[in-house]
Amino acid sequence: MAAFKPNLHAFRAEEQILNDPSYFAERPKLIALLRELRRARTGQQFFDLHLRLFRRFNARQQYIDELRGTLREQQQRKRRVVEMKPVDQERVREIQMVTTAIERSIEVEKALQSLLAVIADGIAWRALRYDRAKIHVLGTGTQVRRLADTAGLIPELLVIEEFWEQGVFAIHNDLTTCLRHGDVTAIHPDGRIEIIEVKRSAGSENPVQTQRGLDATTLINERRHTFADGQAQHILPVRVPYRTHLQIAKSLIPRARREGYASANVSPVQFAAVIDHKPGDTNAENENAAHERAVSNVSWWGPQSRIISFNATMRRMRDRRDGVPSLAPLSIYPFEVEDVADLMLGRLDLFTALNLDGLTQQFEHKGISVEIAHSDAGGADGLFLTARQDVPGRELLVTVTPGVREQMLIELMTPANAIAQISAMFGAVRAESSPARVERIPSMADEARVWES
């Protein structure tokens, strides 16, 4: 997970996007797509939504390319004017104004295209039956973030159509942020996964990519796989239902709509707040004051406390750069559709905080000693915590990636679920006859109950 630490310039650019009228003009269309995603149950419904989404995504990509072409023309025009002596400063200013407007339009269009990718991620999560472990495997690698040109795109679409003629739903990976192996992912009715590298011409095969796809599908379909370098991966079932406090966050939204801000301690170590940024909002000071009052009443929040926080705004900004595939996309959150749309657009924000000292104590109560890395969410230094447990004859050691931390933050996963995942890992380590190089990918039970509640 790449570090993401936006600077002041990035936040100002985000504010310009949110204040652009054309950005929020997409809200009704976004709501319609989210409703269609929520209704989808059959392969036909997934196929139809995928096709509609593809057309909108491709149209936005073509428009962005047109804007970039116009931008290059304006930049060339500016160079010619500057080369003329004496320089016509008025013309330079006029061209610069046009250039700035085009650059802002490109950023808005990219932001809107990113929202389509969030819905495409929702299609993938729903079609894959919310199997987070599968998505973790399929999301390993570099995100492409754009469709191929026409010559490359047509063969990919033909493959998708051929699968559908056989009754198999296949999704175009470049529409999503969470599918990063091959060009197309086919999801068979029996749950089997097939990754396709589309051959565009004779000799165009990429053996490295093909092997990566084979490794991924073997791991997904067989739940364990040893790679050529000796590294093994194991999809580890955790016999505990996945649970979150998102329903508490949902209950805060009506009050936030009325008052601008609402918060709650959702667990002894987790805090959540919902902020409603109304169009033309001038109540930022009131919202900040409400937040200060709320955190002052949290017993574990203080200057010496080890606390990390995150919010939907940071996630939205990061997702445009490089999303985290193993986190549930905002498009499937169990809120009202209009609220999900506003969360994706930035009109609503979800702020969460996690008390690291309190979480450490909860692990210790279960006989697990942990050392938690205190780093900002959104940047992950490769490690969330190191857990140790003594058993007869040896000490067991498990390292945990930042994905668990972000599940506790942005998904409000319960501490009990985090403890259950690590306890299951310890059980798997104990079962190994000798120390082995194994990356264990926890797979919680019954995620559908959370996301379709």
**What percent of the chain has pLDDT above 70?**
94
Lowest mean pLDDT among 56-60, 336-340, 352-356, 426-430: 426-430
Would you place residue 2 in the very low, low, confident or very high pLDDT band (cuts 50, 70, 90)?
A: very low
58-100 per-position pLDDT tens digit: 999 999 999 999 999 999 999 999 998 888 999 999 999 999 9
CA distance 195 to 191: 13
318-343 per-position pLDDT tens digit: 988 888 889 999 999 999 999 999 99
> What local confidence, expressed as pLDDT, does residue 208 receive?
80
pLDDT at 170 exceeding the cut of 90: yes
CA distance 221 to 223: 6
**What percent of the chain has pLDDT above 90?**
70
Tokens 């000071």, residue?
Answer: 285
Query: Of 437, 81, 444, 11, whose CA–CA distance to 226 is shortest?
Result: 437
> What local confidence, expressed as pLDDT, does residue 376 receive?
59
166 vs 380, higher pLDDT: 166
CA distance 113 to 174: 12
Residue 315, burial from CB neighbour count under 10 angstroms (0-12, 13-18, 19+):
buried
Given strand 232-241, what is the order of strands in its sheet? Answer: 224-226, 232-241, 438-445
pLDDT at 435 exceeding the cut of 70: no
pLDDT at 381 exceeding the cut of 60: no
**283-293: average pLDDT:** 82
What angle, 0 to 180 degrees and rounded to 10, lies between the N-to-C axes of helices 337-345 and 89-127?
140
Q: Which amino acid is at 452?
A: E
> What local confidence, expressed as pLDDT, does residue 228 receive?
82
CA distance 176 to 405: 23
CA distance between the termini of the chain = 29
424 vs 287, higher pLDDT: 424
Would you place residue 277 in the very low, low, confident or very high pLDDT band (cuts 50, 70, 90)?
A: confident
DSSP summary character for residue 347: S
pLDDT at 433 exceeding the cut of 90: no
User: What is the full DSSP assignment across 89-133?
Assistant: HHHHHHHHHHHHHHHHHHHHHHHHHHHHHHHHHHHHHHHTTT-HH
> What local confidence, expressed as pLDDT, does residue 7 receive?
84
pLDDT at 395 exceeding the cut of 90: no
β-partners of residue 270 are: 267, 354
222 vs 169, higher pLDDT: 169
Domain extents for the chain? 40-222, 239-451
Residues 6+ apart with CB under 8 A from 129: 191, 448
99-108 per-position pLDDT tens digit: 999 999 999 9
The DSSP bridge pattern shows strands 369-372 and 307-311 to be unpaired
pLDDT at 283 exceeding the cut of 90: no
Per-residue tokens: 33: 């797509």
pLDDT at 282 exceeding the cut of 80: no
Average pLDDT, the chain: 90
Would you place residue 1 in the very low, low, confident or very high pLDDT band (cuts 50, 70, 90)?
A: very low
> What local confidence, expressed as pLDDT, does residue 201 receive?
61
Lowest mean pLDDT among 38-47, 302-311, 393-402: 393-402
Would you place residue 288 in the very low, low, confident or very high pLDDT band (cuts 50, 70, 90)?
A: confident
Tokens 């269609």, residue?
Answer: 36
CA distance 188 to 220: 13
Residues 6+ apart with CB under 8 A from 276: 256, 257, 260, 261, 347, 348
Helix-strand-coil split of the chain, %, nearest 5: 55, 20, 30
pLDDT at 316 exceeding the cut of 60: yes
> What local confidence, expressed as pLDDT, does residue 79 receive?
93
**255-273: average pLDDT:** 96
Q: 389-422: b or e for each residue (b if 16 or more CB lie within 10 Å)?
A: beeeeeebebebbbbbbbbbbbbbbbbebbbbbb
33-65 per-position pLDDT tens digit: 999 999 999 999 999 999 999 999 999 999 999
